[in-house]
A and B are shown apart, each in its own frame.
Chain A
Amino acid sequence: MDLRLSEEEKLIRETAAQFVSRELLAREGAYLKQEELFLPPGDPAGRELDAEIRTTLTDVARRIGLWALELPESVGGSAMSAVGQVLIHREFGRTILPFGPACIPALMGESKYAKQLAEGELSLSLAFDELHKSGTSDTITARFRPEPGGYALSKAILDLMNPSADLFLFPAKEQGTNRIGLFLLYRNTSGLTIEDERDLTTDATVARMTLNECKVSNEELLGYEYETGAIVAAEQLRIAARSLGIGMRCLAASIEHARNRVTFGRPLAQRQAIQWMLADLSINLRTCTWLTLEAAWRADQSLPYFEAAALAKKRAAKMAFEAADTAIQIHGGYGVCKEFPFEGFYREARMMRLLYGREMEMNRAIGERFIKEGGRRKARVRRSPAYLAYCLYWCLSPVV
């Protein structure tokens, strides 16, 4: 056991930390205060990062290897280990500035669009709406069926985050066999419409995606259940890592504010009510840090890691929400001001808790499995025959 970062991991962490401090945190204040001096009445508008700034930042991030983390170097990615990705997303989580490495699943590295995705000429969105409930493929209701020369997707309506993307990954179950298929769809795929784009309570948007008897060719079937699960796990790890960043920022800022803010003659830091909020938060931050890193490490070691990633995301997103909540409470009125990052973290963390598995649903799934197995003794690292069969199936399945 050696929980030190390797030299390479240290370098990755350091690079990301410096980029976030110099480029992102330096711009955060301006981003947060972009509103006019007197706001028009009504709901506050969603904030956006200036397009020119975004381009500049993307160029810098790409140059120093903080872009297209999952893709191989041959197509312009960084081929980052899972631990490396966690370290990077953790740093990006420290700022509310809506900027971070785009999510391009590793399996896109094999596709002909890999280079364009890595260079930002194309963007990709995950149409994983049906997986947000439990974080597993159990809840998928969309269906596909084989047809001569390809597949037909049955009618489906779903919510789509990041709706302005050019490419979409969409999982569905095969009629009859219930086998999961992961399809690549294009904006202009016939039968696919994206409409009714709305602001979310976070600064992102959501739109409605309708599939109406879409036909896709054989080569648009990119993967099966394992690939779908791997994307979910990668997203869960990204959310967990980002949550850690939010937790760190909120805790550090709260400690600082509590030291300086005086009430009734004493700094907040000397009040037990404040001390305990921060003590409890710091325990959670610690446990989530190690759960997330351990899950990522397992992924790098080719050990089973889906469950670990799901747990890391469940606990970390909740922790981030509590961290933001604590920071808001300790900052008082400033906490809910849009000029401070905490209310943004609060909205974002609440959203993250609802993506790729909701807590109650995940708890229920874990509990059900445990009860079904009669709570049998679990070996530390045991690869079940089912898992090995699964790996074999994955290796042999024709991935385009």
Chain B
Amino acid sequence: MDFKLSPEEESLRKTVEDFVREELVPLEPDFEGAPDIFEGTRWKSRAKLSSNPEVKRYIEIMEGLEKKAEARGLWYLDVPKEYGGMQVSNVAMIAVTEELEKSSIPFEFGNHVSNILYNCKGEQIERFLLPCLRGEKTSTFGLSEPASGADPSMLQTTATPDSDYFVINGTKMFPTFADVADFVQLFTRLPGTKGREGVTCFLIDTGTPGYRVARSIATIAGTEPCELVFEDCRVHKALVLGEVGKGWELNQAWLGARRFQVGIRAHGVSQRVLRCVAELLRHDAKGAEQFVGQVGYFLGELEALRTLTYFGAWKADQKMDVRSEAANVKLFATELLHEVLDVALEVAGASAMRKEHVLARAFRHARGSRIIEGPSEIQRHIIQRALFREGITFLELM
């Protein structure tokens, strides 16, 4: 049994640690009043269209950081070797994010692409995957519909075969920033199929006739998901991602791999929130007396989250089934983050609800995370399903 990172993973972590200390931390004061768009990683897609000089200045800073990261070899970390990436392990990616999250600058190493795009074949690679890797194109993910969210197997958008083409009809809810994306990864079903059968994924360029972005919808977190409408949208069969009728596995793969990042991010945000709380309590003896135990409790829970996340990522690296681990991490992380913020706001009081306040921002983002990519209730369902199927074999140490 060995909880140490491997030498390569450790040296990568060290490089990131140095990068954070030398490049990100000094920028923190400058970013304190940054516009909301800089929370998370969304500046890439929407902020670039902004004509606000303030936003432009921040974009320049961020692009400068990207160049610096690339110069240090911190680029294409999780990209497979065949596409020129470093293909580092899941555990290493967790360590990288853990270091990045120690700074409040919403910076991440690129370029990440939606992992299902690695299923691209033939000319799809040139057209979709590589431009995304180079950062020239962005994609959006079309799965949820007005009547199917937590249970995506209820999706109703149909793709009717018509010689070499498919005709797509339906509505998609909540693809994030679809209005500025270059293409959509669209999940549909073949006519007459039900449940997980017949699900087929397409890559459809923005501007394809019959596909329109009906509107974007403001949310609590500043992200802007959209509503997409498909009316007799004809797409060639060459645009099917993976195989016709085998789209369900893609959807599962997309969700699974992201969970551990969600865990370590929640860990990082919670740490920063607690640091802010500690700062407040240091000047507030009475508050400190009242909340000190809560802070200690949360610090312990965060350690638990951290170790749970590393374990899940390690298990994913061993190519084992991690559906239950992923659900554990997602549920534990997002619920914990939400609790931490709730207490943090009790400590900080009404003044922390100012829109640009770090706690208020984190608060707005935390609420969505308990729903996005599978609500907590679905995670509990996945966990109990594994429990009743396999008993406590998950506790058999290997």
Contact = CB atoms under 8 A, between A and B. Distances in A.
A1 B288 contact: no
Given A3-B398, A367-B295, A374-B282, A293 B380 contact: no
B299 interface: yes
Interface string A347-363: 00000000000011011
Interface in A281-317: 282-283, 285-291, 293-294, 297-298, 301, 308, 311, 314-315
A1 B2 contact: yes
Contact of B387 (A87, A279, A376, A377): A279
Contacts of B397: 3-5, 13, 87, 293
A370 B296 contact: yes
Contacts of B303: 291, 308, 311
Contacts of B279: 374-375
A interface: dominant SS: helix
Contact of B392 (A13, A251, A275, A297): A251
Contact of B383 (A87, A283, A375): A283
B294 A363 contact: yes
B328 interface: yes
A288 B275 contact: no
Nearest to A367: B296
A366 interface: yes
B91 interface: yes
Interface string B262-303: 000000000100111111011000001001111111011001
Contacts of B392: 248, 251-252, 255, 282, 285
B298 to A, nearest CB: 8
B296 A83 contact: no
B332 A283 contact: yes
Given A363-B294, A365-B296, A279 B380 contact: yes
Contacts of A297: 1-3
Interface string A268-286: 0100000110111011011
Chain A contact patch, size range: 35 or more
Residue of B5, B276, B294, B296 contacting most chain A CB atoms (<10 Å): B296
Given A286-B308, A287-B305, A363-B300, A1 B3 contact: yes
A371 B380 contact: no
B331 A283 contact: yes
B304 A363 contact: no
A367 B380 contact: no
A371 B304 contact: no
Residue of A1, A13, A359, A371 contacting most chain B CB atoms (<10 Å): A1
Interface string B305-322: 101101100110000000
A384 to B, nearest CB: 18
B9 interface: yes
B23 to A, nearest CB: 15
Interface string B377-390: 00011011001100
Nearest to B277: A375
A1 B91 contact: yes
Contacts of A9: 1
B330 to A, nearest CB: 11
A33 interface: no
A364 interface: yes
Contacts of A367: 291-297, 299
Residue of B279, B288, B328, B395 contacting most chain A CB atoms (<10 Å): B395
B192 interface: no
A368 interface: yes
Contacts of B394: 282, 286
A4 B2 CA distance: 8
Interface of A: 1-6, 9, 13, 83, 87, 244, 248, 251-252, 255, 258-259, 269, 275-276, 278-280, 282-283, 285-291, 293-294, 297-298, 301, 308, 311, 314-315, 359-360, 362-368, 370-377, 380
19 contacts: A1-B2, A1-B314, A3-B1, A279-B384, A283-B383, A286-B308, A286-B311, A287-B308, A287-B332, A290-B307, A291-B304, A311-B303, A363-B294, A364-B293, A366-B297, A370-B274, A370-B299, A371-B278, A371-B281
* Across the A-B interface, the 8 shortest Cβ-Cβ residue pairs: A367-B296, A366-B296, A375-B278, A375-B275, A363-B296, A367-B295, A275-B384, A287-B304
